[in-house]
Structure formats: structure tokens, C-alpha cells
């Protein structure tokens, strides 16, 4: 069995491109060209150069000594938090802006929930001098003022989505509408391994640099390329896809995907998509999503804005269904405690999304000679107010 995408754009039963006919030309253009463009040596050269000089790659693989002592196992942290703009999302937006240029596009659109993907997109648009419009729910604009300010500072236009619940899914609908109306000059930068084929595969390939680096870094430090476990948090699934990518078909490397249980899996306020989700179609892709009996998408909840998504990418739906990856869900409280612990044991304040991945150290027992790689997807500066309020610091 392969855990990678097949030539029809599916991971097992999941994926594909379930899109309105009006969107077909845009998606088809990307589908026909993305692999060709990515394998062009000039593309690869420019992508690698920007990852090195602009993003600051390779990100370190750091042996967390005090954390390892506490849990009596060997823990390495892949430091995506040290990237420019503070998370893994920039790996994807760099790749997609180069893709857009090669396709002759001059205008970029994106959707954003918490604003992190909006900032990463506005950043690469400034870098390349391209027009940037970011759709964002009106409610999210009010909740995420610092990221709205960042996008404006970077020269992007932030357009409020005023329909529905005025959050991420409504912003996505607006972005899709825009793309239908501007098929020739516009590229839509999707922020995770979600959306119609080829997005999940394209984004996974851009994020795959994470596991490509882990392999040689672990070889240097441990004398082997393969850890026993790779652990990552999952919202849409892009940082996990990147950390898992080069180990997908290596079944002696165990994969752990960590979802947000919010206030508890069965509390009605969570984002534990694979565990609670049923098969359905969201944003052009067949996958697992949280829905009511009659198929209405359920509003997700998590204390971390980046995990607050009602679906999960099709790669992860497949990893879940086949049992290739173990899915664990972590509550708000468990995550916040783990975030504080990493801060005080290692001097690293993680994003709350990442704190979910760290929290499994308290949840699952590892052996003392196990080698774990935890993907430290982002830094916690953006979440400081949340931590302060939670711990009454
Ligand atoms: C956006 C975000 C996530 C969740 O997105 P994925 O696509 O699942 O990786 C996780 N961590 C951080 C720091 C983020 O900004």
C-alpha cells in the first residue's frame, strides 16, 4: 500500500477535485503544470535559495536535553518556529508564489482564519511585488487585530467576509468566488494540505523540505536517518505532511498526528476532525469532516486558532483510516500546560498549535531508547496574550 497520492489525485478514498464547473479551468491549469514546474531546475534553484537566504533554512534539529530527561526518552525538536514569520507556513507560500510567477499570474488571493497564512502570503507578495488580497471573516478580523495590521503593513488588502458565521469557511467561499471571477491573472494560495487536487499534493511537496532535512540532521546526530516516532499537530495538516513526507512509506517510523480536542472530544466544542468526522466534501476535496446528521458542517472549536478547522487534508484522512498514523487528541488544558512546560524546561515558547503536539508526552509512554522528532511548527509570540490570560501571569 502506498500512502502517497495516486495519479488520479487521491489518497486511498480521499482527495480528488470536487469543484464547480466555473473553477475547472483554473484548477486544471495548475494540475497540468505543477509537477512540470516544480521539477524544472531553475524553479528548484530559486526555491532552495529563498528557503536558505530568506526563510533561514535549514531549521535546526535540536536535542531537547531537559525535556528528554523529564520524559526519559530522546526528544528532538524540529525548529520551524525559527523560520522567517515564525512558522512552517512560509515554506508553502514561497513555493506557491514562485509557481504563480511561472504561470504568469500577477494577482494573488488567499483566505485566512487566524491570519497566520494571510501574513505568510502577504510576506511573499511583498517579496515579489505582486498584488495581494486576503479574505478574512469579519469576526476573525476583530479577533486577530495584530495579524490584520501586519498584512496591511506588508501592503496587502484585507477584505472582510460578511456572510455566514463570518469566519474561515466564509473567507474561503469569498476567495473561491474571486478566483472564478478572475481566472486569468489570479493565483489562489491555499494555506494547508486541503482543497481540490493538486493543492494537497503541491503543498505537501513544498513542506516536504522539513522531513528531507530531518533525515540528514538525524543521521549526523544519531547515525541513522529514521527516528522511531515523528509527531506533529494537525489543523489542515501541512506541517505534519511536511514532517511525515519522506517517512510515509517507511512503516518502521511511527507517525503520530495530534488534533485539538478543545474542551473535550465529546463536549461539542472541539476540532478532533478524524475521530469525530465522517466522509464528506469540503473545499473541493473528499475527506473527513465534522458534520451534523444531515451533512451540515459543524463549527469547530479549539483554543488555538490554527487547529480550528472542521476538516482535515485527504492525506491525513487516509493515514487515519489505514492506521498508518496514530491520531491522538489533546484538550485546551493539556496543550496550555505543555506550552508552559516547554517554555520553562527549554526556553522555547511554542505556538499553542504546537503545544498540542508536545502534550502527548504526558499522554503516551515512550521507551528510554526511543528517538522522537516533534515538529515545532511555530513560535508562541502571537499567542502570548492567550497564555497570559490562561495562566493569569
Ligand atoms: C497554521 C498552523 C498550524 C496548523 O496548520 P497545519 O496546516 O495543520 O500545519 C500549526 N502550527 C502553527 C504554528 C500554525 O501557524
Looking at residue 1, what is its pLDDT? Answer: 80
Residues flanking ligand 1, CB < 6 Å: 87, 89, 116, 192, 233-239, 306-307, 351, 353-354, 377-378
* Residue 202 three-state SS: helix
Query: Which pLDDT tens digit goes with each residue over 197-215?
Result: 999 999 999 999 999 999 9
Query: Which pLDDT tens digit goes with each residue over 217-275?
Result: 999 999 999 999 999 999 999 999 999 999 999 999 999 999 999 999 999 999 999 88
Of 149 and 297, the one with more pLDDT = 149
377 is an active site residue: yes
CA distance 23 to 271: 29
pTM over 0.75, yes/no = yes
Q: Nearest 5°: phi and psi at 269?
A: -125, 85
Other Cβ atoms closer than 10 A to 160: 17
Atom of ligand 1 nearest to the CA of 239: 9
Instruction: Return the CA Rg of the chain.
Output: 19
Closest CA to 206 of 219, 195, 190, 220: 190
* Residue 81 three-state SS: helix
Which of 111, 213, 341, 353 is an active site residue? 111
Q: Is the pLDDT of residue 2 over 90?
A: no
Cell readout for 103 is: 504561470
Query: Which pLDDT tens digit goes with each residue over 61-72?
Result: 999 999 999 999
CA distance 183 to 40: 24
CA distance 141 to 171: 11
Query: Which pLDDT tens digit goes with each residue over 162-203?
Result: 998 888 888 999 999 999 999 999 999 999 999 999 999 999
Structure confidence at residue 286 as a pLDDT band (50, 70, 90): very high
CA distance 151 to 315: 30
CA distance 197 to 190: 11
Ligand 1 center to 308 CA (angstroms): 10
Looking at residue 245, what is its pLDDT? Answer: 98
68 is an active site residue: no
Give one DSSP letter per residue of 260-313, joined into a string.
Answer: EEET-TTSS--B-HHHH-EEEEETTEEEEE-B-TTSPBPPP--SSGGG--SB--
Structure confidence at residue 305 as a pLDDT band (50, 70, 90): confident
Torsion (CA) 94, 96, 97, 101 in degrees, nearest 10: 140
279 is an active site residue: no
- Provide mean pLDDT across the span 312-331: 97
Looking at residue 267, what is its pLDDT? Answer: 93
Please, what is the end-to-end C-alpha distance for the chain in angstroms?
A: 50
| Contact by Cβ (8 Å): 156, 224 | no
Amino acid at each position: 500500500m502506498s500512502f502517497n497520492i495516486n495519479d488520479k489525485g487521491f489518497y486511498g478514498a480521499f482527495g480528488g477535485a470536487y469543484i464547480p464547473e466555473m473553477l475547472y479551468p483554473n484548477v486544471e491549469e495548475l494540475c497540468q503544470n505543477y509537477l512540470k514546474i516544480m521539477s524544472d531546475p531553475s524553479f528548484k534553484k530559486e526555491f532552495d535559495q529563498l528557503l536558505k537566504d530568506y526563510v533561514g533554512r535549514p531549521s535546526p534539529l535540536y536535542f531537547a536535553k531537559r525535556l528528554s530527561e523529564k520524559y526519559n526518552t530522546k526528544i528532538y525538536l524540529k525548529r520551524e518556529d525559527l523560520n522567517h514569520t515564525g512558522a512552517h507556513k512560509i515554506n508553502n507560500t514561497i513555493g506557491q508564489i514562485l509557481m504563480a510567477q511561472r504561470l504568469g499570474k500577477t494577482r494573488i488571493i488567499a483566505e485566512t482564519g487566524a491570519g497566520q497564512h494571510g501574513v505568510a502570503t502577504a510576506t511573499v507578495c511583498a517579496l515579489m511585488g505582486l498584488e495581494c488580497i486576503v479574505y478574512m471573516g469579519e469576526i476573525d478580523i476583530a479577533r486577530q487585530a495584530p495579524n490584520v495590521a501586519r498584512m496591511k503593513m506588508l501592503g496587502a488588502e484585507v477584505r472582510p467576509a460578511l456572510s455566514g458565521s463570518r469566519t474561515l469557511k466564509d473567507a474561503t467561499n469569498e476567495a473561491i468566488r474571486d478566483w472564478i471571477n478572475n481566472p486569468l491573472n489570479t493565483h489562489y494560495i491555499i494555506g494547508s494540505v486541503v482543497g481540490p487536487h493538486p493543492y494537497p499534493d503541491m503543498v505537501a511537496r513544498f513542506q516536504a523540505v522539513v522531513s528531507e532535512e530531518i533525515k540528514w540532521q538525524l543521521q549526523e546526530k544519531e547515525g541513522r536517518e529514521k527516528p522511531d516516532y515523528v509527531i506533529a499537530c494537525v489543523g489542515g495538516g501541512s506541517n505534519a505532511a511536511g514532517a511525515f513526507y519522506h517517512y510515509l512509506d517507511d512503516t518502521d517510523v511511527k507517525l503520530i498526528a495530534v488534533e485539538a480536542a478543545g474542551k473535550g472530544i465529546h463536549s461539542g466544542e472541539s476540532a478532533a476532525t478524524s475521530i469525530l468526522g465522517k466522509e464528506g466534501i469540503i473545499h473541493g476535496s473528499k475527506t473527513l469532516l465534522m458534520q451534523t446528521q444531515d451533512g451540515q458542517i459543524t463549527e469547530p472549536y479549539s483554543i488555538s486558532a490554527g487547529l480550528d478547522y472542521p476538516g482535515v487534508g485527504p492525506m491525513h484522512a487516509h493515514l487515519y483510516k489505514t492506521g498508518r498514523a496514530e491520531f491522538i487528541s489533546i484538550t485546551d488544558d493539556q496543550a496550555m500546560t505543555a506550552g508552559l512546560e516547554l517554555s520553562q524546561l527549554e526556553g522555547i515558547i511554542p505556538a499553542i498549535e504546537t503545544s498540542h503536539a508536545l502534550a502527548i508526552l504526558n499522554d503516551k509512554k515512550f521507551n528510554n531508547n526511543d528517538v522522537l522528532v516533534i515538529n515545532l511548527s511555530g513560535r508562541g509570540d502571537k499567542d502570548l496574550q492567550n497564555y497570559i490570560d490562561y495562566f493569569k501571569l
